[in-house]
Amino acid sequence: MKISIVPFVLATGVGLASAWAAGAPGGRPAAVPSSFVEVQGATNLSSAAPVERWWTTLKDPELSRLISRALRNNLDLKTAEARLLEARAARRSARADLFPTVDSTVSFSRIRGGYESGNVHVGNGGSGGANAGAIFVAPYETNLFQVGFDASWEIDFFGGRRHELQAATADFQAAEEDRRDVMVSLAAECARNYLELRGAQRRIAITQDNVKLQSDVLHLTEVRAHAGLGTELDVERQREQLASTEASLPSLESAERESIYELSTLTAQAPTALVEELEKSEPLPLAPPEIPVGLPGDLLLRRPDLRRARSQMVAAAARVGQARADLFPKIVLTGAAGRQATGIHQFTLGAGNFFSLGPQLSLPVFNAGRIRANIETQKQRLNESSLAYQNAILNVLREVETSLTSYQHEQERREELVIAEDASKRATQMANELYVRGLADFLSVLDAQRQQLQAEDALAESDTTVLTDLVAIYKSLGGGWQ
């Protein structure tokens, strides 16, 4: 059975209905299945609601402390929080545009005058000529002081400002989801590095145990060779085996340090800050017996990246409306009021009042198609965000199913590796006993040693992979920000 997300999308908030009505040709959103395929028939997966603080299911206090520290101090998270505050300020600015603005003004001007008025006709009563004259006004100077208030208010008849506020609100919500998405990734990254650290430490311990075992065998072969019961070839073969095993230690120790350095950086500390705290080897935590993964439809509410994509679509729809509002007249009420006088001392006695109020109407007449081009631009951006949202849904469903199948198949692989490890240990013991009794050649011992080391190392690696696959499941489900 498939569940269409169209009703959900159309009901998710202001602007989505208008998004489709505004002409987004993105098509029908993807259908969300009613359950995850990998959950069906699985005994260790359930459709119950996922655990929010999923790392607590591993019951590792050190891991919980590291994640809490990272969620408090990580610099990428603080950067996302700064972007959130920026978006909040932008929303306040957009909201302020809905209200009148009032400014106080104080002005001073000095006026200088004096002019010639032009010709004046003077008659003598006869038919004779006339005398042309000019009237002169003496130069003068005066001061003019003004104190008052200017006000303006754009009446949002056609919704341009309201759509601007809707877009800014959606941008703020997208920034909030971006911060939450950083939290999800941060918790998962901390857990992955911590588990890889413990896995590397376990593999180091296994290798060191094999080094000790092979050293003992080397000593035995040397004793047998000196006693004439073995050959120098056996000694050199064992020495080569031992050196090869020891050669694998540096890369494992490097992986151990890299994980510690990464954890230090994630918690906003110097790379070596956690070396003393984490270099002591500890066992890998155990995976919980059952993992609640919820339903696919829950992802639309849980995954911050999906919520962010939805908010971006809302913002794009609002900007289409904002662009369309530019086609219509803008009406601005302007006014001014105050007092004016020719001297500061006259403000209390001889000042005059002034007042003005009136509308200002502006209507686009010719702009070479700029407004309609902007509308088309915003509509295509809406289409892009719609397609991006649909694609994000499909990618999220793929991520969850992929992480679930990886986890399940690694669990199956681990079960076989447990059998292989147990068999390799018995084979090594039997090969050593037969060699000492002269019933097997030394190549059997060498081969058994290699097989044991490979089996133990593969099991340790698989145990780590099971846990990192578990982390990938929780990350794909969007846990860690609530």
Mean of pLDDT over the chain = 87
pLDDT for the residue numbered 20: 43
Contact 347, 341 (CB under 8 A): yes
Per-residue pLDDT band for 436 (boundaries 50, 70, 90) equals confident
Query: Using alpha carbons only, what angle is made at residue 327 by residues 326 and 329, rounded to the nearest 5 degrees?
Result: 80
Query: Using alpha carbons only, what angle is made at residue 203 by residues 202 and 204, rounded to the nearest 5 degrees?
Result: 90
Query: Using alpha carbons only, what angle is made at residue 474 by residues 469 and 475, rounded to the nearest 5 degrees?
Result: 90
Dihedral angle computed from the Cα positions of residues 291, 295, 301 and 307, in that order, rounded to the nearest 10 degrees? 90
Statement: residue 16 has pLDDT above 70: no
CB-based contacts of 118, cutoff 8 Å, min separation 6: 134, 135
**Total number of residues shown for the chain:** 482
pLDDT for the residue numbered 118: 53
pLDDT for the residue numbered 309: 95
pLDDT for the residue numbered 33: 84
Statement: residue 459 has pLDDT above 50: yes
Nearest to 21 by CA among 375, 379, 312: 379
Of residues 270 and 349, more confidently modeled:
270
CB-based contacts of 454, cutoff 8 Å, min separation 6: 424
Per-residue pLDDT band for 349 (boundaries 50, 70, 90) equals low
Please tell me the least confidently modeled range out of 52-66, 70-84, 238-252, 430-444: 430-444
Please tell me the least confidently modeled range out of 32-36, 80-84, 108-112, 194-198: 108-112
Per-residue pLDDT band for 453 (boundaries 50, 70, 90) equals very high
Alpha-carbon gap, residue 329 to 364, rounded angstroms = 7
pLDDT for the residue numbered 135: 59
Alpha-carbon gap, residue 303 to 21, rounded angstroms = 26
3-class state of residue 437 by DSSP: coil
Statement: residue 347 has pLDDT above 80: no
Statement: residue 175 has pLDDT above 60: yes
Number of Cβ within 10 Å of residue 357's Cβ equals 10
CATH entry, 2-97+159-325+376-476, from 1.20.950.20, 1.20.1600.10, 3.20.20.220, 3.30.70.20: 1.20.1600.10
CB-based contacts of 112, cutoff 8 Å, min separation 6: 139, 140, 141
Alpha-carbon gap, residue 105 to 340, rounded angstroms = 11
pLDDT for the residue numbered 11: 39
Side chain identity, residue 373: A
Rg of the chain over Cα atoms, rounded to whole angstroms, equals 40
Instruction: Report strand pairing: 2-4 vs 31-33.
Output: antiparallel
* Tokens 């259908």 found at: 31
Structure-block tokens of residue 385? 């965000």
Structure-block tokens of residue 152? 């303006």
Most confident of 68-72, 125-129, 227-231: 68-72
pLDDT in tens, 271-281: 999 999 999 99
Structure-block tokens of residue 348? 């209390």
- Segment 371-399 mean pLDDT: 95
pLDDT for the residue numbered 437: 87
pLDDT in tens, 178-217: 999 999 999 999 999 999 999 999 999 999 999 999 999 9
Query: Using alpha carbons only, what angle is made at residue 472 by residues 468 and 474, rounded to the nearest 5 degrees?
Result: 115
Side chain identity, residue 322: Q
Domain boundaries, the chain: 2-97+159-325+376-476
Question: What Cα–Cα distance (Å) separates residue 232 from each residue in 243, 439, 456?
Answer: 16, 18, 29
Statement: residue 343 has pLDDT above 80: no
Query: Using alpha carbons only, what angle is made at residue 299 by residues 296 and 300, rounded to the nearest 5 degrees?
Result: 115
Helix (H), strand (E) counts: the chain: 12, 10
State residue 84 phi and psi, 5-degree precision.
-65, -45
Contact 388, 309 (CB under 8 A): yes
pLDDT in tens, 243-261: 999 999 999 999 999 999 9
